[in-house]
Chain A
Amino acid sequence: MIRLQNVTKYFKTEGEKKYILKDVSFTLPEGVNLGILGRNGAGKSTFLRMLGGIDFPSSGTITSDKSFSWPMGLAGGFQGSMTGRQNVKFVCRIYGKNEEEITSIISYVQEFAEIGEYFDMPIKLYSSGMKSRLSFGLSLAFEFDYLIIDETLSVGDENFKKKATAALKKKIESCNVLLVSHSMGTLKEICDVGVVLHEGVLHYFNKIEDAIGYYHTINMQTSVQKNNVVQSSAVYCDDGRVFDDINAAAIFYKMRPFSIIQALEKNNGSHMFLKKVFYKDGHPKPLFQKWQHFDDATIIGSDGVIFENAEEATSFYRERFINKKIDEDHIANVLLTEEKFSALLSVKFYYLSEFQ
């Protein structure tokens, strides 16, 4: 059981307080796996760290008599100049393990991580995938009441992913999980209950499916609000054209209007697919910039819209084309094909990491 009493947490940025939680009281029942959802910057990771006792509320208390892992897949907890083996030993020591236990943990981690002779080389020579493997294996070697996982299940190649997921599922039989993830599939697979963090409020749901539903609702609402605000004014493009509104621009460039809204709102006007910069009437022309916050799962469609992952994209199109009967894994399946082209939507998808 984890109990939050009147918890408030904020960060000060340029003198302004940005709230992650505002006077939240909440009790997480015993024996459930919790999924944590929220838009980027909502404070999911901070919330997770607070539950795990390595970050602290600005006011209020969080109490629990359970033991928590460190954030799993954490590569930052390693010392670069020390070898993998030395780092594993270090963690064993702070957990008060004796020599015998240390030896068995080391051999387990070594076998799980599959990094060969790199195990005896300094961590700074590792790729990020190797670091995650090591860290993942290390977390599995210890006993906790709660495993804390922050977006790490998507690391490495397919084989390792399968192995990691299988090992994690086995581990979950004897402990619980607090999980932050953008992947709705993973959340559904692992978690029972969910919370959605939104503008300082914590929404708790007894079923993870409901939490995911609510998260999508918030996402759509925010898009619509922004939609209404910007539609009224003229839009300029850095190729010299002027349009009455976003829709006119979208029709001209054969892009989805939302992609231009997205560019204006989130990327200083730079449209990734067109490689053009849009700006509103009365604003100075900004310079073209790349999309800042993306990871391996981020995709861009040939209609110009960028999504954090396939699940988000699918729900975006399902919302808009109700009569097209798009199934839940449509875009995930499309991404598995060679062409990554959806005939149903007539959109081709690219991974943003490759596209940029």
Chain B
Amino acid sequence: MTKRTSLSIFSSVVFALFLREVQTRFGTKRLGYFWAIIDPLSMVIIFSLVKSALADKSMPGIDYPVFLATGFLTFNFFKAVMNGSMSSFDANRALFSYKQVKPVDTLFSRFLLEFLVMFAAIIVFICFGMYVGFSIIPKDFSMVLFAVVWLGVFAFGIGILFAVIASFYETFAKIISFLSTPLFFLSGLLYTVESLPQTAREIVLYNPVIHFIEMIHGNYFLVLDTQYVDYEYMMYWTVIPLFFGLYFYKKSQNKILSS
């Protein structure tokens, strides 16, 4: 048997796992990929209706459904990567019998899938928005794209750190999924940071996710800006979890494989 480089092994394993995830997700859950569209779409509709029912006239110059959609799609991606990572090792445990398959490969393949699912959902939403006649052209497309990619790196770092912790402390995954419900309301999906009172503003800005959502919103809509986005704070939240995630993973890879 010819020796393969570790990079070619890595890429073929991630690709194989990716195709496997693609096949199984469609097979096991009936709604499969449609859920990635239906979930944010229903949210957009519900909250848009609530807002018009309340005759809320805030956010002039913005199509509120577009505001909601940009937030939900990216937030769902983040949540899917975070939660998916924690169940990834256990879900693929059987495959660790193949020497080439390392636990971290499963994180990469899931991340890749979630990223593409988000991308597909975005395209569907754009088509939908254009059909309905919303103004969907972003103010600064490249900055929006940059924010989304950065969010991806942030999500991956959190994902690998949480995956390693969850593999040693089972309750950790439960705690995180418990916390991700309030996170929905604290991430600036329904409102801008600007619109909050001073004290509330200070509190929500401790949440790193809201900075990413603000950065996306601020660069997307003409009337919004990114004055509350703290790039340094985002950088810490990206680099530190990623570093510790990779470090702890490296140290405990064999333990994860043996358990």
Q: Which residues of A contact B (CB under 8 A)?
A: 52-56, 67-68, 70-71, 74, 76-79, 81-82, 86, 90-91, 93-96, 122, 143-145
Contacts and interface: CB of A to CB of B under 8 A. Distances in A.
Nearest to A9: B258
B171 interface: no
Nearest to B4: A96
19 contacts: A54-B97, A56-B255, A56-B257, A70-B97, A76-B97, A79-B94, A81-B23, A82-B23, A91-B98, A93-B13, A93-B16, A93-B19, A94-B12, A94-B13, A94-B16, A94-B98, A96-B12, A144-B1, A145-B1
Interface string B100-124: 1100000000000000000000000
B8 interface: yes
Contacts of B99: 52-54, 68, 70
A160 B77 CA distance: 49
Given A79-B94, A95-B100, A122-B27, 6 more contacts: A53-B99, A54-B96, A54-B257, A79-B24, A81-B27, A93-B16
Interface in B61-104: 94-101
A135 to B, nearest CB: 10
Range of interface residues on B (Cβ < 8 Å): 20 to 34
Contacts of B257: 54-56
Interface of B: 1, 4, 8-9, 12-13, 15-17, 19-20, 23-24, 27-28, 94-101, 254-255, 257-258
B9 A96 contact: yes
B23 A96 contact: no
Instruction: Give the residue among A71, A93, A94, A96 with the most B Cβ atoms within 10 A.
Output: A94
Given A54-B96, A54-B99, A82 B20 contact: yes
Interface of A is mostly: loop
Given A56-B254, A70-B97, A76-B94, A82 B24 contact: yes
Contacts of B13: 93-94
B238 to A, nearest CB: 30
Contacts of B100: 94-95
Nearest to B98: A70
Nearest to B20: A90
A78 B94 contact: yes
Contacts of A54: 96-99, 257
Instruction: Give the residue among B4, B9, B15, B100 with the most A Cβ atoms within 10 A.
Output: B100
